[in-house]
Structure 1
Amino acid sequence: MSSASPFRRSVPELSSNRGARFLQSLLVGSAQFAGFWSAVVLPFAMLALVASGSAAERAPLFAALLIANVVALRLGHGYNQD
């Protein structure tokens, strides 16, 4: 007969699992927050380039802003949806 209890769990196992889940939710939430608000702000920077007429002169910058906006839209897609 075994003396090990099936109901006994080690304390470090539970706390590390809880800590890992908390860290994961914190990182995912932060990435979604940053992605959402970047997707809101980046179009204004692109609009400023177009309005000033320097979008054609600085095409690589405009393309980088456009790509960053698409990435931010993807990252921030699920922000604040419960």
Structure 2
Amino acid sequence: MSSASPFRRSAPDLPSTTGVQRLRTLAVGSAQFAGFWSAIALPFAMLALIVSGSVAQQAPLFVWLLFANVVALRVGHGYNQN
């Protein structure tokens, strides 16, 4: 006869990922999402500065937008590659 109780479990089945890993995955996915779509939207803002002719007056803004676009391209590079 078995002495094991049917009401006791040996150890709970833990999922393969912990809470920290899930949080990291969520954070990375969110950053890639934001980076990807920012890399798409920022060139339109830069184009608006060029077309309006205000690039000369707002050169630091244009350089900041260019830098932000490069960062967004890098961060969003792996978005939705399954």
TM above 0.5, yes or no, is yes
Query: Counterpart of 1:67?
Result: 67
* Runs of 4 or more above 2 Å deviation: none
Tell me the TM-score normalized by structure 2: 0.80
Query: Counterpart of 2:43?
Result: 43
How does 1:1-82 map onto structure 2 within 5 Å? 18-82=18-82
Structure 2 counterpart of 1:25, which letter? T
Q: Distance in 1 between matches of 2:79 and 2:59?
A: 30
**Cα RMSD for the two superposed structures:** 1.6
Where does the alignment leave 5 or more consecutive residues of structure 2 unmatched?
1-9
1:56 positional shift: 1.1
Tell me the TM-score normalized by structure 1: 0.80
Where does the alignment leave 5 or more consecutive residues of structure 1 unmatched?
1-7
Secondary structure (helix, strand or coil) at the match of 2:18 reads: helix
Query: Counterpart of 2:3?
Result: none
Q: Distance in 2 between matches of 1:77 and 1:59?
A: 27
Secondary structure (helix, strand or coil) at the match of 2:69 reads: helix
Structure 2 counterpart of 1:57, which letter? Q
Secondary structure (helix, strand or coil) at the match of 2:29 reads: helix
Richer in helix (by share): 1
Once the two structures are aligned, what percentage of the paired residues are identical?
66
Structure 2 counterpart of 1:50, which letter? I
